[in-house]
Amino acid sequence: MDAQIRIRGAGKVFRSGGREVEALRDITLDFPAGQFACLLGPSGCGKSTLLNAVAGFSPPTSGSVEVDGRPVAGPGPDRGMVFQEYALFPWMTVEQNVAFGLSIRRSPKAEIREKTSSLLAMLHLTEFRDRYTKDLSGGMRQRVAIARVLALDSPILLMDEPFGALDALTRHNLQDELLRIWESLRKTVLFVTHSIEESIYLADRIVVMTYRPGTVKRDLAVDLPRPRDPSAPAFNELKKELTGLVMEEQWRHERDETRAVAAD
């Protein structure tokens, strides 16, 4: 099967004030269409950097990223992104936010209205359509952000710790909602998280990344049947294995920070 997202030897070095930080080193990954993949690792492992490279916000300094056979040249509506900070436009109502992508494409008015309405219904937002985002809870805002990206009909969904700022119950709800949407629309999802449980609950495939420079530490398929039960033995076995892998990187991260403090 052809890869929809093809990453070849991608590296990223940030330079600031004479200091260099190697965020990514030699990442080679293929993601086929329709796969739900999680990038998992502690903070500082470059998982968001990799996602931003696919999104086109910040190209790799070496290697290449291709989507549908074409090199990524910049951000675009074929790769819808959901941000941890929601990034909704506060001067627009919920409905206007969701319709934004379609309206700048100059889709016919009737089509925009119909599509927006069905997305609002899909994400249980219909009664909030005329609200401004300041009046919504975090969970609601992230629903709006997901609806806004789904309106683009992009084959790829990039999600940068989208549920990281939400409380546990809201988070759980939105995970189920996302799976329901993914199962009906079959988009390719690249989902960044540092939550081991979240990655097992959601993904077909989990890519564990190392701390600085970010490399692929382990790339494993999750073939537990859905809906997944976090209390099932198989789930917990996988969780134990992943916890071991992630904690190794977390220790490296903490050791690094302790050293940095000691050097000051």
The residue type found at 42 is P
Is 79 a binder of other proteins (CB under 8 A)? yes
Is 132 a binder of other proteins (CB under 8 A)? yes
SS3 174: helix
Nearer to other proteins, 32 or 77 (CB): 77
Residue of 138, 182, 181 lying closest to 163 (CA atoms)? 138
Q: Do β-strands 70-71 and 62-67 pair in parallel, antiparallel, or remain unpaired?
A: antiparallel
Nearer to other proteins, 136 or 174 (CB): 136
Is 77 a binder of other proteins (CB under 8 A)? yes
Is 262 a binder of other proteins (CB under 8 A)? no
- List the one residue from 83, 218, 234, 236 that touches other proteins (CB under 8 A): 83
Nearer to other proteins, 107 or 118 (CB): 107
Q: Which of positions 45-74 make contact with other proteins (CB under 8 A)?
A: 55, 57, 74
Q: How many CA atoms lie within 13 A of 171 on its CB side?
A: 16
Residue 158 token pair: 């990039």
* Strands (E) located in the chain: 3-16, 19-32, 36-40, 62-67, 70-71, 79-82, 156-160, 188-193, 205-209, 216-221
Is 16 a binder of other proteins (CB under 8 A)? no
Nearer to other proteins, 79 or 212 (CB): 79
Nearer to other proteins, 103 or 117 (CB): 103
Residue 95 token pair: 């409905």
Q: What does the binding site for other proteins look like in residue numbers (CB under 8 A)?
A: 55, 57, 74-77, 79-81, 83, 85, 87-92, 100-101, 104-105, 132-134, 148-149, 152
